[in-house]
Amino acid sequence: MDRAQGTRAAAASAQSDLLVARNVTKRFGGVTALADVSFTIRRGEIYGLIGPNGAGKTSLFNVLTGIYGPDGGGFDFDDRPLAGLKPNDVAARGIARTFQNIRLFANLSALENVMIGRHVRTRANVFGAILRNARTLAEERAIEKRAHELLEYVGVHSRANDLAKHLAYGDQRRLEIARALATDPRLLALDEPAAGMNATETAALRGLLENIRRDGVTILLIEHDMKLVMSVCDRVLVLDYGRKIAEGPAAEVQKDDKVIAAYLGGEVTLNLKGA
Amino acid sequence: MDTFIQQLVNGITLGSVYAIVALGYTMVYGIIQLINFAHGDVVMIGAMVAYSVIAVLAGSGMALPPLAILAIATLCAVPVCMAVGYTLERVAYRPLRNAPRLAPLITAIGLSIILQNVALIIWSRNPLAYPQIVETVTYRLTPNPDGATITNVQVGIVGLSILMMAGLLLLVYRTKLGIAMRAVAQNPQVAGLMGIDINRVISMTFMIGAALASVAGVMDGSYYGIAHYQMGFLLGLKAFSAAVLGGIGNLGGAMLGGLLMGIIEALGAGYVGELTNLCHLSGWSDALAQRCANDPHLAVFGSNYQDVFAFVVLILVLVFRPSGLLGERVSDRA
Amino acid sequence: MRSYLDVRGRPALAWVGVALVAAALVALPWVLAGIGTAWVRITNLAILYCFLALGLNIVVGFAGLLDLGYIAFYGVGAYVYALLASPHFGIHLPFWAILPLGAALACVFGVLLGTPTLKLRGDYLAIVTLGFGEIVRIFLNNLSSPFNLTNGPQGITLIDPFRIGDFSFATTQQVLGNTLSSPIKYYYFLLAVLLVVIVVNLRLQNSRIGRAWEAIREDEIAARAMGINTRNMKLLAFAMGASFGGVAGGMFSAMQGFISPESFVLVESIMVLSMVVLGGMGNVFGVVIGALLLSYVPEVLRYTVGPAQKAVFGRTLIDPEVFRMLLFGLALVLMMLFRPAGILPSAVRKRELQRRTDGG
């Protein structure tokens, strides 16, 4: 699927806003990691978040998913504020994420990892677990079935019974996506999913992202692989030193002077920072 | 008022010992984020070794002055404890430095049990009467003849503790080793890249903590006049609580926390019986008044609850201010 | 979902195996009684330790929370039973009424302790639980004044045995020509309870709840990001472990007929922890094996180490009790250093996973 098609697909789906960030600010001691960042993600798009190292991308993820509370501003998800929600509540609301430094449940199997993702959409309690009534058993079967489907979907089904830590790096990244998808998210936030992947794997990842979007999940993507960002993202937000310096369609952002300066080093300080 | 001053004096003495032990916890924690569970038992080993040396020297017929005997005993205990500290780190903690957090904690518990039972085999399971070779001199603090007092032993303990704390601060902030320790505490990987031998620095940290612990052991033994193979357990727990109270990982915090913990415990023990004395309520119930006629100290909590205070403080600190009085933020970390 | 106890798929072989094991377990007390009634009692205590270790396994093994004050919950259960079924207060409630009460109270204690501390890092939890265990012991020792609740260090005596109608677990009686002694009665009762506990543990592990616990153990931040309410799940693990401890404590009270604070000291907590660690944290059968090993080996040592030393050195150099403690300490250290997954190899886990897919 090429980019033009992707854009059309996004345009075809509802143009309503899924996530609205209003003046999000986050400080760590004296360092301002995020300063007044505002943007809007529309339903059905793949929204890129780029910037040099230390620009505040991961901080933005952590504020969005409730790991940190913002020092100012906030997010509206699906027209309701996310303020004060804990990470598990955020996940329940429909935002799932992956981590820059993969955080799988290393000593559990790939299948179990994905099954854990179903936790938030299932109900069995202790009594159900102990008594194994018909409802619990049915739910367990459904969880396992869905987990298998998702492993198939991301392409690591052959490793379903291997411990997560024994999977190849690229497979771990995809397993993390499967685990996130298991929570039935409406927004999937991916933190550098292509990091450490070779060209073939990245190409496969691109296909996977397109499929996920086609199946109705909006994607927020932090990525350093510019080729991937430019080919898959509908719109891109550029952060530098915690500030938004550009936002718009990938092709336009690419030509933006400030973005070029931030990446290539218009100033000596930026050069050091971006290295 | 006399009671208050007396308990304050006792508390400061006790607190000095806690502070010295707490420094050992906090140094190790600051540098590798590990609770050295066996640290209390290192204190015990120090007390025991010194006990044996004192017994030998005092019984040898050599007419050494008491202070010299104490000094020799302490100087013998220090290297033994440093060796124990080094061995603990080398054998049981270093291989697990990158293991899940539970693992080194469990080995630490195992080590604690081993140290205690080895001590039991060497020194018997019975409490040992610590030789009181320094003659106790009591000074009056208040004009009242039954008033608050302070002994030369207490003065010695507080003075020695202050000296050791000052020495430690000099070591950490004024020497190359100190800089290396602080660097490793900040970021071991980067410190390693800068040419610091991380393993050596961590070993040294354990050994310095153990050296302090051995002196604390001698002080504790001399103060209470008793040593026991399990003495390190409660002492260690209280000192750990003190380190948490002050803010774990922070040297000043351990000193402050230790002192506060000693004072809280002494005041608590001194007043809890009075505060919870049911006889204050005698007017409300005849039955109560009758019992109080027989026993005017009918307290809900007597001073036998002394050991509870440290834990209560620990839990309160962890609930309301997990970073301690002077410490960095520690909760919410994976 | 299948568990170890599930024999569907290869019925003939499996049933033969189950039948053999069952027969062995039924015959065991009679064999032991032949050696000496003491061994039946030792076995009963071993089963009780299995029970405790499985309870702690939920907390430590499944959820990865290091609880060093576990024995306090055991103590709470034991005292609840003792107070409600002894001449101390003159109350004699039936055991089936008290055991749930003990479990509930232990559970309440677990929640009270867990609520403020479970948000803290694991090693803090360890210390706080350790402190809690000590506090409970200190209270048990001192709550004899002004109101005599626990009778202090003297403990509580003449605690009622289990009784169902006229059938008392404390007496010896003839059944079908066999002498059914009190320990043997308790043996069958404990065995039945243990089987239930094992099944409960296995089912919990292979459930939505168990997976959530394991997720927390593996990576708490990731678990939260997956929508798991880590605080509630940890509290649940803590409360469940505590309830197990409470029930075990009640059974201990009834079996021994006498309890005192001495039975609920830190060493006991560490012993149960050693069982869990030795067997393999989170591995149900491993934990049972660990508990049995650490229950029997010290008893065997008691009968061998002492006499052996006497024979070689002419006197007892190292008390068997000390030897036992050294063994625990070494077990903890060596297991963590060389076999952190426990004595049961991970092949068991692999097989379990394998079977699950065959079925799914």
Residue that wins the pLDDT comparison between B101 and A248: A248
Closest by Cβ to B114, choosing from C126, C317, C329: C329
Residues of chain B neighbouring C230 (CB-CB closer than 8 A): none
CA A101 centroid distance within chain: 13
Q: Decide if pLDDT at A272 tops 50.
A: no
Residue contact B113–C332, C-beta within 8 A: yes
Cα distances from B206 to residues A267, B21, B81, B88, C17, in angstroms, run 47, 12, 10, 8, 53
Q: How far apart are CA C6 and CA C18, in angstroms?
A: 11
Q: Does residue C219 belong to the interface with chain A, where contact is any CB pair within 8 Å?
A: yes
Q: Check residue B33 and give its pLDDT.
A: 85
Residues of chain C neighbouring A183 (CB-CB closer than 8 A): 226-227
Chain A and chain C share a number of CB contacts under 8 A equal to 117
Residue contact C212–A92, C-beta within 8 A: no
Q: Check residue C103 and give its pLDDT.
A: 94
At residue B311's C-alpha, the angle toward residues B306 and B316, to 5°, is 125
- CB proximity under 8 Å: A 46-85 to C: 65, 67
Give the pLDDT band (50/70/90) at residue A275.
very low
What residue of C is the nearest CA neighbor of A125? Answer: C209
Residue contact C225–A96, C-beta within 8 A: yes
Q: How far apart are CA A173 and CA A164, in angstroms?
A: 10
Q: Can you read off the two tokens belonging to residue A185? A: 């998210």
Closest by Cβ to C131, choosing from B113, B116, B237: B237
Q: Does residue C123 belong to the interface with chain B, where contact is any CB pair within 8 Å?
A: yes
Cα distances from B44 to residues B49, B127, B195, C274, in angstroms, run 9, 12, 36, 23
Q: Does residue C277 belong to the interface with chain B, where contact is any CB pair within 8 Å?
A: yes
Q: Are strands A46-50 and A31-42 parallel, antiparallel or unpaired?
A: unpaired
What residue of A is the nearest CA neighbor of C357? Answer: A161
Q: What is the pLDDT of residues C34-53, one digit of tens each?
A: 787 888 888 999 999 999 99
Please state which of the ranges B85-94, B132-141, C61-70, C219-228 shows the lowest mean pLDDT: B132-141
Q: How far apart are CA C128 and CA C106, in angstroms?
A: 17
Residue C287 lies in a domain: no
Closest CA to B236 of B41, B8, B29: B41
Q: How far apart are CA C54 and CA C44, in angstroms?
A: 15
The total number of structural domains that make up chain C: 1
Residue C317 lies in a domain: no
Give the pLDDT band (50/70/90) at residue B330.
very low
For residue C59, what are the domain limits?
Answer: 38-265
Give the pLDDT band (50/70/90) at residue A268.
very low
Q: How far apart are CA C242 and CA C240, in angstroms?
A: 5
Q: Check residue C10 and give its pLDDT.
A: 63
Span B146-174, average pLDDT: 90
- Nearest-Cα distance to chain A for C360, in Å, is 8
Q: Decide if pLDDT at A7 tops 80.
A: no
Q: Decide if pLDDT at A74 tops 80.
A: yes
Residue contact C127–B278, C-beta within 8 A: no
Residue C324 lies in a domain: no
Span B255-261, average pLDDT: 93
Residue contact C336–B104, C-beta within 8 A: yes
Closest by Cβ to C138, choosing from B34, B125, B305: B305
Residue A172 in contact with residue A113, Cβ under 8 Å? no
Residue contact B302–C145, C-beta within 8 A: yes
Q: Decide if pLDDT at C357 tops 50.
A: no
Please state which of the ranges B97-101, B162-166, C101-105, C336-340 shows the lowest mean pLDDT: B97-101
Span A75-91, average pLDDT: 92
- Nearest-Cα distance to chain A for C148, in Å, is 38
- Nearest-Cα distance to chain C for B80, in Å, is 21
Residue contact C131–B315, C-beta within 8 A: yes
Residues of chain A neighbouring C236 (CB-CB closer than 8 A): 126
- CB proximity under 8 Å: A 151-190 to C: 160-161, 179-180, 182-183
Residues of chain C neighbouring A139 (CB-CB closer than 8 A): 208
Q: Check residue B189 and give its pLDDT.
A: 84
Residues of chain C neighbouring B30 (CB-CB closer than 8 A): none
Closest CA to B296 of B280, B313, B314: B280
Q: Where are the alpha helices (DSSP H) in chain B?
A: 2-32, 39-59, 66-87, 102-123, 152-174, 176-186, 188-193, 198-224, 231-246, 251-275, 286-294, 306-320
Residues of chain C neighbouring B278 (CB-CB closer than 8 A): 146
Q: Does residue C135 belong to the interface with chain B, where contact is any CB pair within 8 Å?
A: yes
Q: Does residue C124 belong to the interface with chain B, where contact is any CB pair within 8 Å?
A: yes
- Nearest-Cα distance to chain A for C213, in Å, is 10
What residue of B is the nearest CA neighbor of C127? Answer: B237
Q: Can you read off the two tokens belonging to residue C4? A: 């170890």
Q: Mutate which of B318, B328, B329 to disrupt the C interface (most C C-beta within 10 Å)? A: B318
What percentage of chain C has pLDDT greater than the value 90?
A: 33
Q: Check residue B143 and give its pLDDT.
A: 79
Cα distances from C16 to residues A44, A111, C11, C22, C348, in angstroms, run 58, 32, 8, 10, 21
Span C290-309, average pLDDT: 83
**CATH number for the domain running over B2-128+139-320:** 1.10.3470
Closest CA to A75 of A61, A88, A56: A61
Q: How far apart are CA C135 and CA C122, in angstroms?
A: 20
Domain ranges of chain B: 2-128+139-320
Residue that wins the pLDDT comparison between B309 and A153: A153
- Nearest-Cα distance to chain C for B320, in Å, is 9
Q: What is the pLDDT of residues B218-247, one digit of tens each?
A: 999 988 888 999 899 889 989 999 998 998
Q: What is the pLDDT of residues B29-49, one digit of tens each?
A: 988 888 888 999 999 999 999
Span A211-226, average pLDDT: 92
Residue contact A112–C236, C-beta within 8 A: no
Bridge partners of C167, per DSSP, are C164
Q: Check residue A274 and give its pLDDT.
A: 39
Burial per residue of C245-280, b for 16 or more beta-carbon CB atoms within 10 angstroms, e otherwise:
bbbbbbbbbbbbbebbbebbebebbbbbbbbbbbbb
Our CA dihedral for B308, B309, B315, B320, rounded to 10 degrees, sits at 160
Q: Decide if pLDDT at A234 tops 90.
A: yes
Our CA dihedral for B139, B144, B148, B151, rounded to 10 degrees, sits at 10
- CB proximity under 8 Å: C 228-247 to A: 228-230, 236, 240
Residues of chain C neighbouring B95 (CB-CB closer than 8 A): 337
Report whether the peptide linkage leading into residue C146 is cis, meaning its omega lies within 30 degrees of zero: yes
Name the one residue in this structure whose structure tokens are 């998808």: A181
Q: Check residue B307 and give its pLDDT.
A: 81
Q: Mutate which of B37, B117, B319 to disrupt the C interface (most C C-beta within 10 Å)? A: B117
Work out the burial of residue B182: count CB atoms within 10 Å of its CB; fewer than 13 is exposed, 13-18 middle, 19 or more buried: middle
What residue of C is the nearest CA neighbor of B315? Answer: C128
What residue of B is the nearest CA neighbor of C219? Answer: B334
Q: Which chains, if any, share at least 3 CB pairs under 8 A with chain B?
A: C
Q: Does residue C212 belong to the interface with chain A, where contact is any CB pair within 8 Å?
A: yes
Please state which of the ranges C59-68, C110-119, C194-203 shows the lowest mean pLDDT: C110-119
Closest by Cβ to C208, choosing from A105, A119, A148: A119
Secondary structure class of C315 (helix, strand, coil):
coil
Average model confidence (pLDDT) for chain A? 87
Closest by Cβ to B278, choosing from C119, C146, C335: C146
Residues of chain C neighbouring A122 (CB-CB closer than 8 A): 208
Residue contact B311–C66, C-beta within 8 A: no
Residue C80 in contact with residue C150, Cβ under 8 Å? no
Closest by Cβ to B315, choosing from C66, C128, C337: C128
Q: How far apart are CA A82 and CA A73, in angstroms?
A: 11
Residue that wins the pLDDT comparison between C151 and B211: B211
- Nearest-Cα distance to chain A for C354, in Å, is 7
Work out the burial of residue A220: count CB atoms within 10 Å of its CB; fewer than 13 is exposed, 13-18 middle, 19 or more buried: buried
Q: Check residue B297 and give its pLDDT.
A: 67
